Structure 1
Amino acid sequence: MKKSLIAVNSVAGAALLTLVAGAAILLVLMFSTDGDADADRRAFFGSLMFSTKEQADGSTAITAGVDDPVPLIVLFVVLAIALTFIQLTYRALKVHRQRLLEERGLA
């Protein structure tokens, strides 16, 4: 039960962190464009894109999104592995601490 909970927590945390990173990168791309010129910007190894194009009637067309999902998937997997490792290390250290406290008669 605990191992499945660790896996679920790691996957959920990795998904949330990946979404936050993607949104933050898109916001940086949006605010790094000049207002007057057409722009086509890509970030995070080409996975996220933001482009603006001035229309004939004077309005600006904006396109933003995921162009190549592979770097985002790699980020998700790396984060899931890291979060799993962190949780397993924490649990092992907690058990070790409890065992040391029991040896000293403090627990």
Structure 2
Amino acid sequence: MKLERELMRGAGPLAVLKLLEAGERYGYELVQALDRQSGGLLAMGQSTLYPMLYNLEAKGLIVSRTDEAGPRPRKYYSLTGRGKKKLAGDTAQWLRLVEAMKSLGIAEPQTGGAA
């Protein structure tokens, strides 16, 4: 199961920033990590990821560098100071949202008891 497009718009960039918090990665590494670490829920193709990366870079949240050393050039992405601040703020908002959903009974597992 994948997230609907509107939910992915908020979750996708936050997930990418979170992955980059651990260190720089190239695009395909991000694609694989999003799929693997989210159990497929945040899986996205390169045609979705790269425009997101370009947007994050245009906003000054990430920077890229090209490594020409391997058999083919790879573009690596890493967080900027501004990106770290954005990640912290968005994470705090996300956690507040999760708590609000829990208070509505949405995030709590449903128990199958007799009524």
Relative to the length of structure 1, the TM-score reads: 0.40
Larger Rg: 1
Relative to the length of structure 2, the TM-score reads: 0.38
Q: Which has the higher helix share?
A: 1
